[in-house]
């Protein structure tokens, strides 16, 4: 019986050592990749710092700038212009007017 317990302990120990070896390989790979990415992350951090300082400088310049004079008339239209109809186009309110207009146009072109 004690022999079976010893074998079970050995199997569990081998399994634990194998798992530890796999985890160690993965951690080493991760550390290698992080070392390769370190310059890129440093450059990104510097770019973020520069952009933050640029934004704060632009904000302070915008606040210091003299406010623009108010225009008396708005720079946009409050209503839209009506679309212009192409030459020869007429408004047809119903289906019968549309059909009649079509045939009148055909007769005029044939004549």
pLDDT 10s digits, 73-99 = 667 777 777 777 777 676 767 777 778
Q: What is the pTM of this model?
A: 0.42
The residue range of the domain holding 22 is 1-64
The two most distant CA atoms of the chain are separated, in Å, by 117
Q: Is 30 among the domain residues?
A: yes
pLDDT at 96: 78
pLDDT at 83: 75
Q: Is 105 among the domain residues?
A: no
Q: How far apart are CA 21 and CA 14, in angstroms?
A: 10
Phi and psi (nearest 5°) for 78? -85, -15
Give the chain's length: 111
pLDDT at 111: 67
Structure token pair of residue 80: 């839209």
The domain tally of the chain equals 1
Q: Is 85 among the domain residues?
A: no
> Mind listing the pLDDT tens digit for each residue in 38-69?
999 989 999 999 999 999 999 888 888 866 66
Q: Is 69 among the domain residues?
A: no
């Amino acid at each position: 019986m004690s022999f079976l317990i010893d074998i079970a302990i050995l199997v569990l120990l081998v399994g634990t050592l194998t798992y530890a070896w796999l985890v160690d390989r993965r951690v080493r790979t991760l550390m290698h990749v992080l070392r390769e990415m370190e310059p890129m992350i440093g450059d990104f951090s510097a770019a973020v710092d520069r952009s933050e300082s640029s934004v704060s400088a632009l904000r302070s310049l915008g606040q210091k700038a003299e406010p623009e004079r108010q225009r008396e008339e708005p720079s946009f239209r409050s209503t839209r212009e009506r679309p212009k109809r192409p030459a020869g186009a007429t408004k047809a309110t119903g289906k019968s007017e549309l059909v009649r207009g079509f045939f009148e146009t055909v007769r005029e072109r044939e004549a």
